[in-house]
Amino acid sequence: DLPARVTIHEVGARDGLQNEKATVPTAVKAEFIRRLADAGLSTIEATSFVHPKWVPQLADAEQLFPLVSDLPVALPVLVPNQRGLDRALALGARRVAVFASATESFAKANLNRTVDEALAMFEPVVRRAKDERMRVRGYLSMCFGDPWEGPVPVHQVVRVSKALMDLGCDELSLGDTIGVATPGHVLDLLSELNEEGVPTSAIGVHFHDTYGQALANTLAALQHGVTTIDASAGGLGGCPFAKSATGNLATEDLVWMLQGLGIHTGVDLGRLTATSVWMADQLGRPSPSRTVRALTHK
């Protein structure tokens, strides 16, 4: 049985723009988020409160967040540590995400920490965020494969997932950061997580389309009962130079499939596509989304 409705967790303004070579002006980001909300997306990840040298594309978080915080949508932000949470709280953010890795190589590259050191860094962040009655998401990257380590064993992913839940995260987002997952692997991981006590209701999925499997993987997850799907408007976030960073699942491709399945999303596909075409103009390159291309082909 498929769910009647799903929540699309829109990551274009954060995961998308953090990987674009061009730095987008703050006013354009704010307009992008407003248009996404207007297209019916109800959860729009806005930015990250990370070190500006690590992610210069999102260094304007303090300027951006107040420009969109009046919107009647959830605006989660990424916070790696207490400093990030302080910055988010100062601006009135109500949802935060910490971001762990299933592999040591990516933990080092992304957070300058071992997996367990990163979990220790998140512990007081999650505790304080829960004290503040915030909703906390725990991202987990490299759940299927890692560019340095190759295939990632399911038990390794389960261990870090459980650790994130034990910290008090309300939901997980299982990231196929390099896009190597296939549907059977997705189902194996979901089943193993359930067996280890992580309920499907706490699990979101975050696929990348490197090998064209993102929708197949999404369908498998839906059939398993997952109702939170991450996607990036227009497929933003593709880096043509790094195989490991090829684009996120495009929100338009996801909405097209969900509409066809009769699953409610609240998203207006026409408005969303127009937004991605507008953003592609700002970035000076066409959207890689097949659905955007098909709907705008003249």
- For the annotated catalytic residues, the residue numbers are 239
Neighbour tally for 34: CB within 10 Å: 17
Indicate whether 176 belongs to the interface with Mg ion (CB under 5 A). no
Tell me the per-residue interface mask from 87 to 106 with ligand HMG, x by CB under 6 A, - otherwise.
Answer: ------------x-------
**Nearest residue (CB) to ligand HMG, 15 versus 209:** 15
Name the minimum Å distance from CB 16 to Mg ion: 8
Question: Which one among 15, 104, 146, 176 touches Mg ion, defined by CB under 5 A?
Answer: 15
* Cα distance between residue 248 and residue 236, in whole Å: 7
What, of ligand HMG, Mg ion, none, does residue 287 touch, CB below 5 to 8 Å by kind? none
Which residues, numbered 166-205, are part of the site for ligand HMG (CB under 6 A)? 175, 177
Contact 71, 95 (CB under 8 A): no
Indicate whether 51 belongs to the interface with ligand HMG (CB under 6 A). yes
DSSP 24-66: PPHHHHHHHHHHHHHTT-SEE--EE-S-TTT-GGGTTHHHHHH
Question: Which one among 57, 141, 248, 276 touches Mg ion, defined by CB under 5 A?
Answer: 248
Alpha helices in the chain (DSSP H): 17-18, 26-38, 61-68, 82-90, 104-111, 115-131, 154-167, 183-195, 214-224, 251-260, 269-283, 290-296
Which residues, numbered 36-55, are part of the site for Mg ion (CB under 5 A)? none
What, of ligand HMG, Mg ion, none, does residue 80 touch, CB below 5 to 8 Å by kind? ligand HMG
Indicate whether 246 belongs to the interface with Mg ion (CB under 5 A). no
Alpha-carbon torsion (194, 235, 96, 243), positive or negative: positive
Name the minimum Å distance from CB 290 to ligand HMG: 20
* Cα distance between residue 185 and residue 203, in whole Å: 15
Where do contacts with ligand HMG occur on this chain (CB under 6 A)?
A: 15, 18, 48-51, 54-55, 78, 80-81, 83-84, 99, 110-112, 139, 141, 175, 177, 206
